[in-house]
Structure 1
């Protein structure tokens, strides 16, 4: 079956009831994240999902998709040793975190995945292998579905660009990261002192990183008001390509950088760790799946909820 692409018209369709769903949720990649597992959002109207599973995935180039298929073993090597994404061709493809959340929140049979830091109460995050999807569990290693948030630059970054990176890695920047539901990577970082720099910085890439990057930009500009920071949201691969080409100062990738990207002159810096939350409709009574169950759903080995939960 040809892949379906879910676009920004989803919200409008939901709002007018064209798709027969409950409505368009207000969640999105720009919403304030939480580190909760989605528990506590249940209601008396919860029902067990049944029938055909609505599988939602991200577009090619998405760092979240790349990390998801690797962590769940959905990416396999072919006879020539090349990695192949085995995501079922019946999956509906969403082009951002916000569209993913809207799609799953409006589909009683839906399943998808998002950055843990973008999670809110419009959807339910499932336990995976018995572990709740929380920042604390990612940091302790209990919740293993996690990946790095990378930024990348080329040699010769401007002084103001380097100063912004220094802020991100400082105690002040890492606190912004933790306050927005992500996991800091520099627990003993020094405090940042305003530099008085001026100029413009263009940051581009992952829609999973862009919400916290916006918060980091705001905090930095409050200390350095003569700096302009433009955050362009797309996907990890686009961000890396733009950084390589020099059309942005900082690229964002919600995955490890590829060998080709590093050999192309990019230098990665891990600014945070993030979990990937597997999400379902908030009205679904299901609370947990195993890694093997998720893999079976996403490779198309099982296509009905009754078989997935058996």
Structure 2
């Protein structure tokens, strides 16, 4: 993606769906940003059946020079189309892209200024993140970052798969380091893919300040999935990343650990298709096949002895 000639420094990209309970707090987090540069707010409402769109419209009417909103008539996510990648990123005019989903929110009014200042002064980074809190369904806040991390921390592809540092709400991306062709080749281009490919271009960094809150709730697309369901999706995404990046040994070991977890877990004992999928063309010449074969008998026994 080439930078476009304009005076907008940051494009805030927000995807929303059924977020009527949360979207106002999200938008207020955008508006409160104190910056010495211009930013724009791009929102896609993916045909929400609740009042999300009407709440967004109030803000759009109040700040017409700040907001650009895409009110989608039909839900695109259900069709396999990702509004973030397919709608918001192509429309972004800024030199940098910040991401925040419509149920998360920012808490630091200097978040964007801190991140832009860093990337402007450090051209060797493709992206930067910051610490965040997780708000549980029961109202309890948790600090998700590794407790031993108390300084700015450089992130490369190896560290990225060893320790998960971030959520999309913490990210600021140098748009010139985005390569659309890299993401469109993926069937499931999630945030894992986005950040991994950015770190393949240049390193990233997690800045040591807490700038926002990741919200877990029953209506969240990811939160609705069980822990095992999340693990299964993550493994499939990692499998696809591996198919394009077979030389990353840290990635290989990470995938191996995840696949062994899935194969041996009782909750998947009736899923014979999982075994077949893990033995696809991606893994024919991959050392993980040895692990699959090792656990094959116990996996099939679980399948045959299902209740």
Normalising by structure 2, report the TM-score: 0.24
Higher RCO by CA contacts (8 Å cutoff, separation 6 or greater):
1
